[in-house]
A and B are shown apart, each in its own frame.
Chain A
Amino acid sequence: MYDLVKGLKELPTEEPLSPGHRLCPGCGASIVVRQVLLAAPKDTVIVNATGCLEVSTALYGFSAWNRPWIHSAFENAAAVASGIEAGFKALGRRGEAEEHPIVVFGGDGGTYDIGFQALSGAIERGHKFLYVCYDNEAYMNTGIQRSGGTPRGAWTTTTQVGSAQSGKPEARKDLVSIVVAHRVPYAATASVSHWRDLMNKVRKALSMDGPTFLHVMAPCTRGWRFDPSKTIRMSRLAVETRFFPLYEVEGGVYRITVPVLSPKPVEEYLKLQGRYSHLFLPQHAPQLMALRRDVEDDYRRLEKLAKLTGQLYASTREVASPQA
Chain B
Amino acid sequence: MTQLEMARVVALQGDEAVAEAVRQCDVDVVAAYPITPQTIIVEKLAEFVAAGRFGGEFIPVESEHSALSACLGASATGARVFTATSSQGLAYMHEMLYNASGMRMPVVMAVANRALSAPLVLNADHGDMMGSRDSGWIQVYAENVEEIYDRTIQLFRLSEDPRVMLPSAINFEGFILSHDKERVRLINDETVRRFVGRPAPKHRLDPKEPLTFGAIANPDNYYEFRMQQAEAMRHALTVFDETESEFEALSGRRYGAVDAYNTDDADKVAVVNGCAAGTMRAAARGMNSGGERVGVLAIKLYRPFPTGEVASHLRRAKSVVTMDRSMSLGAPSGPIAEDVKSTLRGAGMNQPVTSLVYGIGGRDLSVEDGRKILSLNGKEASPDDTSVMYGVKE
Q: State yes or no: do A and B come from one complex.
A: yes
Interface residues of A (CB under 8 A from B): 42-45, 47, 54-55, 58-61, 63, 65-73, 75-76, 79-84, 86-91, 93-94, 96-97, 100, 117-118, 120-122, 124-125
Q: Please give the distance in Å from A34's CB to the nearest CB on chain B.
A: 16
Using Cβ atoms and an 8 Å threshold, which residues of chain B touch A70? 73, 76, 205, 212-214
* Contact status A84-B205, CB under 8 Å: yes
Using Cβ atoms and an 8 Å threshold, which residues of chain A touch B75? 83, 87
Cα distance A96–B74 when bound, in Å? 13
* Contact status B72-A65, CB under 8 Å: no
* Contact status B210-A67, CB under 8 Å: yes
Further 18 A-B residue pairs, CB within 8 A, beyond A44-B207, A60-B217:
A58-B215, A60-B215, A60-B216, A70-B76, A72-B96, A73-B99, A82-B70, A83-B76, A86-B28, A86-B29, A86-B79, A87-B29, A87-B73, A87-B76, A87-B78, A94-B28, A117-B63, A121-B61
Within 8 A of A (CB), among B161-185: none
* Contact status B216-A68, CB under 8 Å: no
Using Cβ atoms and an 8 Å threshold, which residues of chain B touch A61? 215
Task: Give the one of A63, A84, A120, A125 with max B CB within 10 A.
Answer: A84
Within 8 A of A (CB), among B294-338: none
Nearest-neighbor residue (CB-CB) of A76 within chain B: B69
Using Cβ atoms and an 8 Å threshold, which residues of chain A touch B74? 83-84, 86-87, 90
Nearest-neighbor residue (CB-CB) of A120 within chain B: B62
With an 8 Å Cβ cutoff, the count of chain B residues facing the other chain is 46
Using Cβ atoms and an 8 Å threshold, which residues of chain A touch B29? 83, 86-87, 90
* Contact status B78-A76, CB under 8 Å: no
Cα distance A67–B207 when bound, in Å? 6
* Contact status A117-B206, CB under 8 Å: no
Using Cβ atoms and an 8 Å threshold, which residues of chain B touch A58? 212, 214-216
Within 8 A of A (CB), among B54-110: 55-57, 59-63, 65-67, 69-79, 81, 95-96, 99, 103
Given A70-B76, A73-B95, A90-B28, A121-B213 contact (CB < 8 Å) = no
Nearest-neighbor residue (CB-CB) of B105 within chain A: A72
Cα distance A261–B221 when bound, in Å? 55
Given A82-B61, A117-B63, A69-B212 contact (CB < 8 Å) = yes
* Contact status B61-A90, CB under 8 Å: no
Interface residues of B (CB under 8 A from A): 28-29, 31, 55-57, 59-63, 65-67, 69-79, 81, 95-96, 99, 103, 198, 204-207, 209-218, 221
* Contact status B213-A69, CB under 8 Å: yes
* Contact status A79-B70, CB under 8 Å: yes
Given A81-B73, A83-B72, A87-B77, A68-B66 contact (CB < 8 Å) = no
Q: B81 is contacted by which of A44, A83, A100, A124 (Cβ under 8 Å)?
A: A83
Q: A88 is contacted by which of B60, B67, B71, B77 (Cβ under 8 Å)?
A: B77
Using Cβ atoms and an 8 Å threshold, which residues of chain A touch B213? 69-72
Q: Please give the distance in Å from B270's CB to the nearest CB on chain A.
A: 41
Cα distance A54–B212 when bound, in Å? 11
Q: List 7 A-B contacts (CB under 8 A).
A: A68-B210, A72-B96, A82-B61, A86-B79, A87-B77, A87-B81, A121-B63
Task: Give the one of A61, A83, A90, A97 with max B CB within 10 A.
Answer: A83
Cα distance A102–B312 when bound, in Å? 53
* Contact status B206-A68, CB under 8 Å: yes
Nearest-neighbor residue (CB-CB) of B214 within chain A: A71
Nearest-neighbor residue (CB-CB) of A64 within chain B: B212
* Contact status A86-B210, CB under 8 Å: no
Q: A72 is contacted by which of B60, B72, B78, B204 (Cβ under 8 Å)?
A: B72
Q: B73 is contacted by which of A66, A80, A89, A124 (Cβ under 8 Å)?
A: A80
* Contact status A73-B96, CB under 8 Å: yes
The 10 A-B residue pairs with the shortest CB-CB distance in the complex, in nearest-first order? A83-B73, A121-B62, A83-B70, A87-B77, A87-B74, A79-B66, A80-B73, A76-B69, A71-B214, A79-B69
Cα distance A60–B210 when bound, in Å? 15
Nearest-neighbor residue (CB-CB) of A57 within chain B: B212
Given A68-B206, A86-B31, A59-B215 contact (CB < 8 Å) = yes
* Contact status B207-A43, CB under 8 Å: yes
Q: A82 is contacted by which of B73, B198, B210, B214 (Cβ under 8 Å)?
A: B73
Cα distance A204–B103 when bound, in Å? 34
Using Cβ atoms and an 8 Å threshold, which residues of chain A touch B81? 83, 87
* Contact status B28-A87, CB under 8 Å: yes
Q: Please give the distance in Å from B328's CB to the nearest CB on chain A.
A: 27
* Contact status A80-B72, CB under 8 Å: yes
Cα distance A55–B212 when bound, in Å? 12
Cα distance A58–B79 when bound, in Å? 24
* Contact status B62-A86, CB under 8 Å: no
Q: A68 is contacted by which of B69, B96, B205 (Cβ under 8 Å)?
A: B205
* Contact status A66-B210, CB under 8 Å: yes
Q: Please give the distance in Å from B78's CB to the nearest CB on chain A.
A: 6
Using Cβ atoms and an 8 Å threshold, which residues of chain A touch B217? 60
Q: Please give the distance in Å from B14's CB to the nearest CB on chain A.
A: 26
